[in-house]
Amino acid sequence: MSQARRYQCCVRIACDLRHTYPPTSKRRPAILLVSPRRLIRLMGSQPKASLHMRLPLLLIAALAASPALSAQCGNDASGFSRWKQDFAPIAAAAGVGQRGLQALANASYSQSTINADRNQRGVKYALNDFIRIRLGSIDSFANTARREKARNATFYASLEQVYGVPAGIILAIHGMETGFGRNMGQTPVVDSITTIAYDCRRSDFFIPHAIAALKLVDQGNLAPDQRGAAHGEMGHTQFLPGNALRYGQDADRNGRVDFYSVSDSLASTANFLRQKGWQPGQPYQQGTRNFRVLNEWNAATVYQQAIALSAQEIDR
């Protein structure tokens, strides 16, 4: 197969974004730095199984690095309009359709997203302090979660039956992420995710999520003006768009995956954990295999500890 033909195949395959990273993962996908020429060599030398896992991010990187398809990142609002124009053919080549491209064209630079990004301090609290600041107390938080569970006990039981993840874990995540849906964010998702993809500081991480968000708009699973958190996190449990695209579940069977629906969002959360290695029926406190799976959701140890401790109290 000629190099040109291989590259054309790459563009077609790029429409299927399969590999994303957890919402707060600190891993940076170094493979994003691959050039189109290097990609072609990889395609000719790597086993098919390896390529299946690595192609999507390689492809998006190759498209963005191509002289014919490039978008210059920036550190303020001045270059955002030009970036959107240059990013549009990259998104189109990755499979974004007309609705997604229109959402990109209408996106506004989100200064609040940049402010939040620049002010990130990480989680540096001791566990007791984290629980006090984030939850109040394990007992009070668990009492609220049990009331949520009692409203639809059959639904939570079905999540455990289908995905093997206990209700306590799902409710703990739901409560910690958005206060059981009370605070899902006030920043338009397309604005925030395209802004952070344009920003030079972490564009390599967020570009795949920006493309995923535009695909979600195409699918009707994300309204162009839907609001979320500062970095593009969506819905009841704050999925980044790439994870939403990959792990989303239509739990209510209405033909669309809606992360602002409790049932779809929580089923997607359970699916995420199961796909990351959750073992049904096994313990999840610190030191267990299931506890390590919580690292895929959030990399902060105190966050994982708080989820496990809360879940144990919720399900007692």
* Residue 74 belongs to a domain: no
Residue 278 located in a structural domain: yes
Q: What is the pLDDT of residue 279?
A: 98
Domain count, the chain: 2
Asked if the model's pLDDT at residue 227 lies above 50, the reply is yes
Residues 147 and 285 in one domain: yes
Q: Which domain holds residue 24?
A: 1-67
Per-residue pLDDT at 59: 55
Per-residue pLDDT, averaged over 140-145, amounts to 98
pLDDT at 120 over 60: yes
| Nearest-angstrom CA–CA distance, 116 and 118 | 6
Name the domain boundary from 13, 39, 67: 67
259 and 148 inside one domain: yes
Asked if 141 and 281 sit in the same domain, the reply is yes
Q: Same domain, yes or no, for 32 and 164?
A: no
Residue 98 lies in a domain: no
What CATH number does residue 153 fall under?
A: 1.10.530.10
Predicted confidence at residue 63, as pLDDT, reads 54
The residue among 44, 67, 90 that closes a domain is: 67
pLDDT of 226 higher than 80: yes
Q: How confident is the model at residue 224 (pLDDT cuts 50, 70, 90)?
A: very high
What per-residue confidence (pLDDT) applies to 70? 74
pLDDT band at 5 (very low <50, low <70, confident <90, very high): very low
Given this model, what pLDDT does residue 122 score?
64
pLDDT of amino acid 300: 93
218 within a domain of the structure (yes/no): no
Q: Which of 45, 67, 89 is the last residue of a domain?
A: 67
Shared domain check, 171 and 25: no
Residue 294 included in any domain: yes
What CA–CA distance (Å, rounded) separates 70 from 68? 6
Asked if pLDDT for residue 37 goes beyond 80, the answer is no
Q: In this model, does residue 13 exceed pLDDT 50?
A: no
The sign of the dihedral angle between the CA atoms of 33, 69, 240, 195 is positive
Same domain, 20 and 169: no
33-37, 154-158, 225-229, 262-266 — which is least confidently predicted? 33-37
Is residue 314 classed exposed, middle or buried when 0-12, 13-18 and 19+ CB atoms within 10 A define those classes?
Answer: buried
pLDDT at 128 over 50: yes
pTM, two decimals, is 0.80
